[in-house]
Amino acid sequence: MTVRTRIAPSPTGDPHVGTAYVALINYCFAKKNGGKFVLRIEDTDRARSTRESERAILDSLHWLGLSWDEGPDVGGPHGPYRQSERSEIYREHVAKLLADGNAFKCFCTPERLEEMRAVQRASKLPSRYDGLCTGLSAEEIAKKEAAGIPYVVRLSVPAEGVCVVNDLRRGAIEIDWGSVDMQVLMKSDGMPTYHLANVVDDHLMEITHVIRGEEWLSSAPKHLLLYKYFGWEPPQLLHLPLLRNPDKSKLSKRKNPTSILFYKAMGHLPDALLNFLGLLCVMPPEGEEIMDLAMMTDRFAVEHISLGGPVFDVSKLDWLNGRYIRERNDLDAFMAKAQAWGFDQAKLRRIAELAQPRIERLSDLGPLLAFFFAGRVAVNAEELRAGKLDDVSLRKALQLATWGFDALASWQTAGIEAVLKDVAARLDAKLREVTRPFYVAITGSPTSVPLYDSIDILGRDIVRERLRVALEVLGGVSSAELKEWAK
C-alpha cells in the first residue's frame, strides 16, 4: 500500500498558518513513508470560496517550500482536484445512498427547522434534526417532488449505540450515535456539503491517512458511517491539536495575525517560518533548533505529536528568524532578500512620488518614510484621541474600516478611499475627522504623506495589523460592540 495523505483547504480567506502546519505534517508523514502528498481544494461553499483565496493558499504553501504530488495546479491521476469541478461524482454517490436507504430527502422548511431548534435550545437539548422526514412514504415524497418543493438530502444515522473512532494518536474514542446529527449531504441547489464531498474524494483519491485539525473529530462518526454505507475501507485518522496563543487560547486573528501573508509582509523568511512550524510537531536533535524540510521529514514521528496545544509563540519565531537572517545568509543573500521584501523599484518609485512634494531636505526622507519599511508602528493613545471623535466612534471607525478593507476584492487606492468614506458616512462624521486617527494608526503620526496611497502601498496584512494594534491601544472592542456594529 502506498501511503497517501492530503491537505484539503477551503479557499474562503487568507492562507492560515494552521493550514501550513497541517500541510507540513501531512507532507512529512507521506514522504517519511515513501508516499504521496495531495492538495485538494474544498470549495463546495460557493458563496464564500474565491479563486483569489485559492491562489493565495497555493502560493503561500509554495513560498514556504512545500510542494505536492497531485493538485489543481500540477494535475494528477485522480483529478479534478477542485470539488466544484466534481459535482457529477457527488450526485451519483448521493443517488446510491438514497437508493440503498442510507440517506433520505428532507423537505422541512427553514422556518420549521428554526422552530425545532428553538424548542431544543429551550430544553437544553443538542441541536439535531428530529427525523420528521424519515417517516415520509414513497408516495408522499413523489408528491412533494412533483409539486417542486425544494429538499435536501440527509444522512441516516443509527438511533442508538456508539460509534468508535480510532485515532492514531488518541486511540479509540466512543461517541454516542444519539449525539450525531442527520447531516445534510446535499443542499437544495444540488451542491454537496463538506462531509459528503470529503469522504467521496478521500476514497476516490485513495487517501490512506486523514491527518487534520481536531475540530473535525466530532465529524468523524458521520464520515465513518458514509464509508460503511458505501462499503469502503476508511482511512486511518489522526486529529491534530489546534495551534494556541501563548495564553493557551485558540489562535485567532483578533488576538494575533494568523495569515501567512502577514508573516511574509513582516519579513519572516519562509525557511524560518517552516522551521518554526516544524518545531511544533517534530523533535529537533539534541541542542539544535534549526531544521530544514528534509531533516523534519526524516525526524517526523506520529508519537512525537503532543496532544497539548502547540503554542504559536511569535517571540520564538522572531528569535529563530533572526538566526536565519544571521546564520543562513551571506551578505549578498541577505541584501537580495531585504530588497525583494521591501525595496523593489516599483514600490520605491511610488513612495518617492509621494515624498517629493513634501520635503525640504533629502534628510527628511528617513523620518517621513520609515513607516513604509516597518511592521507595526508606535501608536500613542493620546494622539489617536486628539481629534473630534469620541472613544466609541473611534473604535467603531477602526473596526468598520477593518471589515471594509477585508471585504475589498482588490487592494487599490480607490477602494480604500471608498471604505473610509463609507465609514465617515456611517458615523455621520466629516471625512477629515475620520481620517485623522487613521493617519496615527497607519503612519504613527497625525500628518504624513497621503493616507490612501500609504495604505495601498503598505498592503492589506500590515494595515490590518496596525488597525488591530490601534484598537488594542484604545482598549479593544467588546463582543457586544462587534455584534452591534456588524449590523
DSSP 219: G
Class of residue 65 by CB neighbours under 10 A (exposed 0-12, middle 13-18, buried 19+): middle
Question: Are 34 and 44 a contacting pair, CB within 8 Å?
Answer: no
Instruction: Give the residue from 439, 461, 459 showing the smallest Cα distance to 451.
Output: 439
Of 198 and 443, the one with the shorter C-beta distance to ligand GLU is 198
Stretch of residues binding ligand GLU (CB under 6 A), selected from 2-10, 128-136, 171-179, 248-256:
2-10
Interaction mask 148-187, ligand GLU, x per CB under 6 A: ----------------------------------------
Q: Minimal distance in Å, beta carbon 258 to ligand GLU?
A: 13
Q: Which amino acid is at 294?
A: A
Instruction: Give the residue from 417, 426, 372, 361 showing the smallest Cα distance to 397.
Output: 426
Write down the catalytic residue from 32, 105, 253, 347: 253
CA distance 447 to 263: 28
Interaction mask 222-261, ligand GLU, x per CB under 6 A: ----------------------------------------
Q: Minimal distance in Å, beta carbon 22 to ligand GLU?
A: 7
Q: Which residue is nearest to ligand GLU (CB)?
A: 212
Q: For residue 198, state whether it binds ligand GLU (rule: CB under 6 A).
A: yes
Of 219 and 321, the one with the shorter C-beta distance to ligand GLU is 219
Stretch of residues binding ligand GLU (CB under 6 A), selected from 7-15, 157-165, 170-178, 339-347:
7-15
Q: Minimal distance in Å, beta carbon 202 to ligand GLU?
A: 8
Question: Are 448 and 390 a contacting pair, CB within 8 Å?
Answer: no
Q: Are strands 236-240 and 209-213 parallel, antiparallel or unpaired?
A: parallel
Q: Are strands 184-186 and 152-155 parallel, antiparallel or unpaired?
A: antiparallel
Q: Minimal distance in Å, beta carbon 69 to ligand GLU?
A: 17
Count of beta carbons in the 10 Å neighbourhood of residue 457 = 18
Binding ligand GLU (rule: CB under 6 A), the pick from 25, 29, 30, 42 is 42
Of 163 and 457, the one with the shorter C-beta distance to ligand GLU is 163
Q: Minimal distance in Å, beta carbon 194 to ligand GLU?
A: 6
CA distance 47 to 74: 26
Stretch of residues binding ligand GLU (CB under 6 A), selected from 4-12, 183-191, 299-307, 467-475:
4-12
Stretch of residues binding ligand GLU (CB under 6 A), selected from 3-11, 89-97, 277-285, 323-331:
3-11
Q: Minimal distance in Å, beta carbon 27 to ligand GLU?
A: 14
Residue 344 is placed in which grid cell?
523593489
Of 212 and 268, the one with the shorter C-beta distance to ligand GLU is 212
Of 43 and 461, the one with the shorter C-beta distance to ligand GLU is 43
Question: Are 424 and 413 a contacting pair, CB within 8 Å?
Answer: no
Q: Minimal distance in Å, beta carbon 208 to ligand GLU?
A: 14
- Contacting residues for 276 by C-beta, under 8 A, at least 6 apart: 316, 317, 320, 321
253 has catalytic annotation: yes
**How many C-alpha atoms does 363 have within 13 Å on its Cβ side?**
0
Size, binding site for ligand GLU by CB under 6 A:
8
Of 10 and 258, the one with the shorter C-beta distance to ligand GLU is 10
Binding ligand GLU (rule: CB under 6 A), the pick from 86, 93, 195, 212 is 212
Question: Are 29 and 278 a contacting pair, CB within 8 Å?
Answer: no
Q: Minimal distance in Å, beta carbon 42 to ligand GLU?
A: 4
Q: For residue 216, state whether it binds ligand GLU (rule: CB under 6 A).
A: yes
Q: Minimal distance in Å, beta carbon 302 to ligand GLU?
A: 16
Q: Which amino acid is at 83?
A: Q
Residue 119 is placed in which grid cell?
424548542
Of 195 and 268, the one with the shorter C-beta distance to ligand GLU is 195
Of 194 and 230, the one with the shorter C-beta distance to ligand GLU is 194
Q: For residue 10, state whether it binds ligand GLU (rule: CB under 6 A).
A: yes
Q: Which amino acid is at 299?
A: R
Query: What are the start-end ranges of the H helices in 147-269?
Result: 194-204, 220-230, 260-265
Q: For residue 221, state whether it binds ligand GLU (rule: CB under 6 A).
A: no
Of 239 and 396, the one with the shorter C-beta distance to ligand GLU is 239
Q: Which amino acid is at 450?
A: P
β-sheet bridge partners, residue 166: 172
Phi (first) and psi of residue 311, to 5 degrees: -95, 125
Helix (H, G, I), strand (E, B) or coil at 112: helix
CA distance 457 to 265: 12
3-state percent breakdown (helix, strand, coil) of the chain, nearest 5: 55, 10, 35
Catalytic residues: 253
Residues that bind ligand GLU (CB under 6 A): 8-10, 42, 194, 198, 212, 216
